[in-house]
Amino acid sequence: MTRKILVTSALPYANGPIHIGHLVEYIQTDIWVRFQKLRGNRCLYICADDTHGTAIMIRARKEGRSEEELIAAMSESHQRDFAGFGIEFDHYGSTNSEANRDLCHQIWQSLRDANLIVERTIEQLFDPEAETFLADRFVRGTCPQCGLTDQAGDNCNNGHTYAPTDLIDPKSTLSGATPVMKAANHLFVELEKLHGFLADWVESGDALQSEIANYLKGHFLADALRDWDISRPAPYFGFEIPDAPGNFWYVWFDAPIGYIASTAQWCEINNEKLDDWWKSDDCEIHHFIGKDITYFHTLFWPGMLKTAGFSLPTKVHIHGFLNVDGKKMSKRDGTLVSAESYLKYAHPSYLRYFYATKLSTRVEDLDLGIEEFADKVNSDLVGKVVNLASRVGKFAGQTGLAATYPDDGGLFKNAAEAGDEIAAAYEAGDFSRATRKIMELADAANPFVEHAKPWEMKKDPAREGELRDVCTIALNLFRQLAIYLAPVLPELAGQCERLLGDSITHWDQSKTPLLGTPVAKFERMLDRLNPEELQKMIDESKEVADADAAGDAIADAAAQYNDSDQPLKDEPLADEISIDDFTKVDLRVARVIAAEHVPEANKLLKLTLSLGGDERRQVFAGIKAAYEPEALVGRLVVMVANLKPRKMRFGLSEGMVTASGPGGAEVYVLGIDEGAKPGQRVH
């Protein structure tokens, strides 16, 4: 019986690019969706950008553009990155849509009607520099229960939960300032009124992995549930609450509703009914999320859905985090690799396969070891799967496939029978088990070719029939592997299709050999992965991070002073230096003779400066948000001429241009009168 399935991944936040840690989830979901479609099920993959909140507002302000312009650019970037890794959505929307606004109103009214909303005046952390109240995610400090430092605003890595106001030594992640307490009216969902329903839902069925159910029962459901703070006062980028002017729905209210809104947009395009997907017992709903947002998807979200009359999740698939070489991903180490950077150095199929070999039904962190990554790709994909086709492909183009399937000692039959076990592993989300079983089949198939030695048969015209039989067996065994790996490696499945002239459209094609057809000219499929290329990727990512940090240096220094050139409140001055230290700084007049963007960097412009005569300096300046390159050409500026040159991926930076301002679009390069001469010292 054909199943009807709606699948979502967590909505990526529109405040930054996609990186390889994010891709764990989207590749995992895409594999599962592709498997369902290959099995003949009707499966819809829905996603959208999560676009609201303080971070978007602050970033747009710093970059001198509207929030709408920012989120449009990020949506384009996100979708390009996803497409680069073969991740295919049936619809990709935005939480900043009228469809989402309408559904927020509808679900809010349901919560009101159920008497679940209460209003209270609370004191909340407020960033005096960014001039905004701080959501939990924008506060870090020391856990008040276990003393763990540098922890998130609402929970620590040891599993303790608390209010951000309970943090010890809190700091705003937006500005680094120490937050202050400020009173404001907030609206809350009284989640405890849904305690009985949520406890039953967690206990019953297979909606949650066992360790997640036990976690919820032990950490939350054992006691009364805290009221959920669902509103934020202005200023805030989001949807204003219709019956509470001046207040906006917290991003975690409208973000999951974006699942439904994006489905509604797809339904409108395809002339379908939303209720058939979100209010039907005939439709399964599957969410794929990371373990860090378990709380929202397993307590708040089911409560909202139940109250508003929408279907509850059939399954919430929760995965762990990605580590690189045993350590948490880090910009400083170069391991926080963007999707864009990865694609410069390695094939997306490699990452899709490696993640598949690591993903199981358990909520476990994955580790991407550089050596292991290369070894697994080279051994499994190149040495076993592709090798099976490449060793006979150049001969099969001349012989074609035999009309009847030759005796292969049971290899094809055994692989066909393994299809049900592999399918069960995919269905359960145990991709690690699925790929292990597929590689066992590859291990069994390769010795057949090695023993048959088709390259020797080719030398003897009298053995053409034998050669055709060997090619027929090897390519049909390869085709079985390509079918089983199609959810993980859609590009390899496409290469198999072009080679054999037969589209892979259904899982059950693995049960019947392809016979009596021509074979196309063999084309190279996958090359070996060089660990040195991966190290270059890491090195580049570190350089980009260092460059962006260097680009922030001007703004960071300027942020110590306000408009009246006085130290900001609670912001210490830099360490004192002597006059002798200061006189070491060689400030010179320079003329900008060329300026251009640095595409690989978010904040840098490349400037060519003249210091008079033939002396030229190349400088990378973190002023991209404030200036178009052409506006700088011809200007006289003040530069630090004796700064030690710094080797960057983009080139050598041979000094620093002086500037001031709070940062972002408000950075002002220090100019000098036209009467000055390039090279002249500034006193």
Is residue 648 over pLDDT 90?
Answer: no
Are 146 and 291 in a shared domain?
Answer: no
Are 396 and 285 in a shared domain?
Answer: no
Are 408 and 451 in a shared domain?
Answer: yes
Which of 172, 189, 206 terminates a domain? The answer is: 189
Is residue 259 over pLDDT 90?
Answer: yes
Are 390 and 462 in a shared domain?
Answer: yes
**Binding-site residues from annotation for ATP:** 331
332 domain-assigned: no
Q: Are strands 4-9 and 42-49 parallel, antiparallel or unpaired?
A: parallel
111 domain-assigned: no
Are 476 and 356 in a shared domain?
Answer: yes
**Binding-site residues from annotation:** 331
pLDDT digits (tens, 9 = 90+) for 608-617: 998 888 788 9
Q: Are 409 and 448 in contact (CB under 8 A)?
A: yes
Q: End-to-end CA distance of the chain, in Å?
A: 83
The CATH number covering residue 496 comes to: 1.10.730.10
145 domain-assigned: yes
* Residue pointed to by tokens 């970033």: 59
CA atoms of 349 and 27, how far apart (whole Å): 10
CA atoms of 421 and 532, how far apart (whole Å): 37
542 domain-assigned: no
Are 354 and 476 in a shared domain?
Answer: yes
Structural domain including 172 reads 117-189
pLDDT digits (tens, 9 = 90+) for 556-567: 333 333 332 333
pLDDT number for residue 602? 66
Count of domains observed in the chain: 4
**What are residue 656's phi and psi, to 5 degrees?**
-145, 135
Is residue 271 over pLDDT 70?
Answer: yes
224 domain-assigned: no
291 domain-assigned: yes
Are 282 and 393 in a shared domain?
Answer: no
CA atoms of 592 and 611, how far apart (whole Å): 9
Are 86 and 122 in a shared domain?
Answer: no
pLDDT, mean over the chain: 90
Are 436 and 472 in a shared domain?
Answer: yes
**What are residue 520's phi and psi, to 5 degrees?**
-70, 170
> What is the CB neighbour count within 10 angstroms for residue 190?
17
Q: Are 231 and 118 in contact (CB under 8 A)?
A: no
Are 124 and 101 in a shared domain?
Answer: no
Q: SS3 letters for 1-32?
A: CCCEEEEEECCCECCCCCEHHHHHHHHHHHHH
Q: Are strands 315-319 and 322-324 parallel, antiparallel or unpaired?
A: unpaired
528 domain-assigned: no
Indicate whether this model's pTM tops 0.85. Answer: no
The CATH number covering residue 595 comes to: 2.40.50.140
pLDDT digits (tens, 9 = 90+) for 320-358: 999 998 888 888 888 899 999 999 999 999 999 999 999
Which of 267, 292, 324 terminates a domain? The answer is: 324
Radius of gyration (C-alpha) of the chain in whole angstroms: 30
Report H helices in 334-410.
339-345, 348-358, 370-376, 387-399
149 confidence band (pLDDT: 50, 70, 90): very high
Residues 6 or more apart whose CB falls under 8 angstroms from that of 336 comprise 19, 21, 329, 330, 541, 545
User: Under DSSP, is residue 126 helix (H, G, I), strand (E, B) or coil?
Assistant: strand
At 50, the amino acid letter reads D
142 domain-assigned: yes
Are 29 and 162 in a shared domain?
Answer: no
Residues 6 or more apart whose CB falls under 8 angstroms from that of 614 comprise none
The CATH number covering residue 163 comes to: 2.170.220.10
Which of 170, 189, 208 terminates a domain? The answer is: 189
The CATH number covering residue 291 comes to: 3.40.50.620
Q: How far is CA 242 from the centre of its chain?
A: 33
Are 356 and 498 in a shared domain?
Answer: yes
